[in-house]
Chains A and B, each alone.
Chain A
Amino acid sequence: QQQVKQSPQSLIVQKGGISIINCAYENTAFDYFPWYQQFPGKGPALLIAIRPDVSEKKEGRFTISFNKSAKQFSLHIMDSQPGDSATYFCAASKSGSARQLTFGSGTQLTVLP
């Protein structure tokens, strides 16, 4: 059972453009929604995270938008740069679950120079 669905599978954006990756979840008990960035040969690294009590969180060029009623959240990368080219994973977890994260299937982002 895929509890977190991520789209698109791959994304190509021009330098300076906006990259948007979407995720949808099924379990309404989820209360923590992080995004991870992974470069080839490396482990995923936490990029930004949000809790459902806010609808948006911004850190630099990265913004999470959260829609609790639709059970969706998205990552926006403003002014995308070639250095942002990586695989991005959304994830979700719920309280009292030993903090287990359920991950989406990943989006491979390529930013063209």
Chain B
Amino acid sequence: DAGITQSPRHKVTETGTPVTLRCHQTENHRYMYWYRQDPGHGLRLIHYSYGVKDTDKGEVSDGYSVSRSKTEDFLLTLESATSSQTSVYFCARSGTNSSYGYTFGSGTRLTVV
């Protein structure tokens, strides 16, 4: 999707296991974000990054961590998955310096059983 890909697309995991979702962009955009989408809640920001090794918490960061060791990759880790983390996760990158528009990946549907 316009230079941003997420993997895996679907994952089922067991409660208590760690899970890592990957986001990859093909351009050198500075800002990247992880959101979760749940019915009735829209999209809620989990973590975001403003550069390599520069990350910060969003609205719903508890139970999640992120890493960005390269400009193009932004990883989201669920340290010990819980059923409340069953959701669709979207990665996004911001536009150029003159544009605030986000480009989203296609999402990862995560089910925690």
Contact = CB atoms under 8 A, between A and B. Distances in A.
Interface of A: 6, 9, 32, 34, 36, 41-46, 49, 89, 93, 98-106
A86 B106 CA distance: 15
Contact of A42 (B50, B58, B103, B106): B106
Contacts of A105: 40-42
Interface stretch (B12-20, B61-69, B73-81, B94-102): B94-102
18 contacts: A34-B101, A36-B102, A42-B1, A43-B106, A43-B107, A44-B43, A44-B90, A44-B104, A49-B101, A93-B100, A98-B50, A99-B31, A100-B45, A100-B48, A101-B100, A103-B35, A103-B44, A105-B40
Interface of B: 1, 31, 33, 35, 40-45, 48, 50, 56, 58, 90, 92, 94, 100-107
Contacts of A103: 35, 42-44
A32 B100 contact: yes
A105 B41 CA distance: 5
B104 A45 contact: yes
B101 to A, nearest CB: 4
Given A43-B107, A99-B94, A100-B58, A89 B102 contact: no
Contacts of B102: 34, 36, 44, 46, 101
A100 B42 CA distance: 14
A67 B34 CA distance: 30
A89 B92 CA distance: 15
Contacts of B94: 99
A106 B42 contact: yes
A45 B45 CA distance: 16
Given A43-B1, A103-B42, A103-B43, 9 more contacts: A34-B101, A43-B107, A46-B103, A93-B100, A100-B58, A101-B33, A101-B102, A103-B44, A105-B40
Nearest to A44: B104
A89 B42 CA distance: 7
